[in-house]
Chain A
Amino acid sequence: MSEKKVYLQPVPVRIWHWLNALGIVTLCISGAQIRFPEYVAIFSSYRSAILLHNTAGIVVALSFSIWFFYYKIVAGNLADIYIPKKSDLTTGLFRQVVFYFFAYFFGAPNPHHATPENKFNPLQKSAYLGIMFVLMPIVSLSGILLMNVGPMREIVLLIGGLKILVAIHFLSCCSLSAFILTHVYLATLGSTPMAYLKPMWTGWEKVEDVKGACHENKQSYQQN
């Protein structure tokens, strides 16, 4: 099996991704303790859960800035990477859904091949667009407001009050958690369970050429 490697995830992207991952997991656990203190008591005190939640929130907001700054300013391809093209929406989404929910079970290869210019499949693009441009800003901004209810009270009142703000924060956090469960699961769907995970850590992805494993899979699918 001949193999070549492609440098898919540059250092700033990997720093952002893992800071984000660590931050969000910390936020979920400490957030659970903050909302359900009678049932969740992982951190020694409520106060420490809050301080950790605030700190992790700031880390995630800063890592979000790294992400934005890198893609927008340094690489300059934020829109290309994250905004689905017309063909993605007309045929790409459908093709990807068919792969995940049908063809995959029969051993078909993933119709999308990641390249540095076109990292995400159409389904990923649409999901990440929603996550990075809608959900993350909502959860971060509502979190920043909750950390500064006193000084930012006029904005809180404009939104409709503390309760509405908390509801927005909580429900968007739940949506983000749901995304993460799906995201982590889908990350194991490569040719091996670790195939997609490794490049996120090392930066390099193995690309099997047409004579490689994918091709064999395709043949077995066709035989079926």
Chain B
Amino acid sequence: MNRKYLGQKGGGGVKQVDLLLLAKHGIILVSFIATSVATGDRAEGADYSFGDGTSKNEACMSCHGNQAKVSGLNYVNPKNFGHTTHAKFGCVTCHDSITSNHPDAKAVVRTTGCGDCHGETLSQYSASIHAKNATCSGCHNPHRVNSSSEIAATEMNKQCAVCHDNYKITASHSRWLPQTGLHLGAIACVTCHSKAENYVISIYIAKRDGAEPESKPNLVTYEDLLKYSDGDNIQYLIDRNRDNYISLDELRKFNRDPSNKNIYLKAMMTPVKPTHSFQTFDNRWDCTFCHASGPEIMQVSYLSFPQQNGTFRQVAVEKGAAMDALRAIPNFYLMGSTRNGVLNKIGLLIIAGGMVMPVGHGFLRFLSRKNRL
């Protein structure tokens, strides 16, 4: 399924950039680099890389990527910023009023708005009930945005939890939602509270320490998994045949492996394409919206592996992982919708076995009724 335009943290994921805007800033960029590269400072962080525009942000980051030189909001963490699409466009794409005598001239450093690129998302958001509560930067830090495929499903809710206190959310949902903690741990907020057309089962690896609540599982980190893989690529912990595709059999093997007893697979139902049309839909009060949605929509899933830079990478999983009877994702069960067909048939056979006496014996009883008069 195409998840290219997912943008839970990164906004609507509108990747078209106004070329004119880029050309305009290109001129400023060249003159800016020419004046400040001479300082020779390097930004911190071993994995410091700006992808396509390798060197174009280095001048800025020589100061803004160094906490010793700048503070507060002026500091940009190179590790979080380096891999973002925003970094590829370059600092001055947004900070377009910067001049060559920065930092001496205290100019307004940003005149470009999010809507210049993310126009569609902005208009979608502006029409939603959430618009009066926060601006774009209220939720998204443009220097550490991730697309929704770059985060684990459970992190989707972290963004909401910055303002919406977990305790209060649990309390308000528990007024009508049975097993509230379980629900909040298995569904992204945006699954119910934003318009989406289709859903996917997003799997991630959680860590057991026995103390974390069901609604806030402990995500396993890259470093944790390295210990399990003995330094090998952590994806091969599950993807044993190394084909960048996870079969149900590989999932079962991972779950059965006793050495994995402190890590386990968790899953959430998330929108395939999250939108910024936030609202509370009336049909989400009705449990059957999810629970009677049928096994067909529960077929597609992804597994998110943590990466060294703090993001996640999705790997496609064989169809039907959520439907597997016992072992593929043993801890994800959506009553009514992820019922297993094989178990249904076994159950039916057992009940049919219970009909042997009433039907078989009853028939002979009828035929032999005269013997008991």
Contacts and interface: CB of A to CB of B under 8 A. Distances in A.
B371 A153 contact: no
Nearest to A180: B354
Nearest to A35: B339
Nearest to A49: B287
A207 interface: no
Contact of A164 (B326, B339, B357): B326
A50 B290 CA distance: 14
A177 B347 CA distance: 10
B73 interface: no
A34 interface: yes
Given A107-B372, A181-B357, A163 B327 contact: yes
A139 B3 CA distance: 41
A167 B286 CA distance: 25
A160 B330 contact: yes
B324 interface: yes
Interface string A162-190: 11101100110111011111101110010
B325 interface: yes
Contact of A163 (B333, B361, B367, B368): B333
Nearest to A48: B287
Interface size class of A (residues with CB under 8 A): 35 or more
Given A107-B371, A149-B182, 11 more contacts: A46-B291, A47-B287, A161-B255, A161-B326, A162-B331, A162-B333, A163-B340, A167-B340, A182-B357, A189-B365, A217-B372
Interface string A28-49: 0000001111100000011100
Interface string A139-163: 0000000000110011011001111
B353 interface: yes
Contacts of B355: 178, 181
Interface of A: 34-38, 45-47, 50-51, 100-101, 104-107, 149-150, 153-154, 156-157, 160-164, 166-167, 170-171, 173-175, 177-182, 184-186, 189, 217, 220-221, 224
A162 B286 CA distance: 23
Interface of B: 178-179, 181-182, 208, 210, 213-215, 255, 264, 286-288, 291-292, 294, 324-327, 329-333, 335-336, 339-340, 343, 346-348, 350-351, 353-358, 361-362, 364-365, 367-368, 371-373
A156 to B, nearest CB: 8
Nearest to B337: A37
A50 B330 contact: no
Contacts of B332: 162-163
A160 B215 CA distance: 19
Contacts of B214: 149-150, 153
Nearest to A189: B365
Contacts of A180: 354
A161 to B, nearest CB: 3
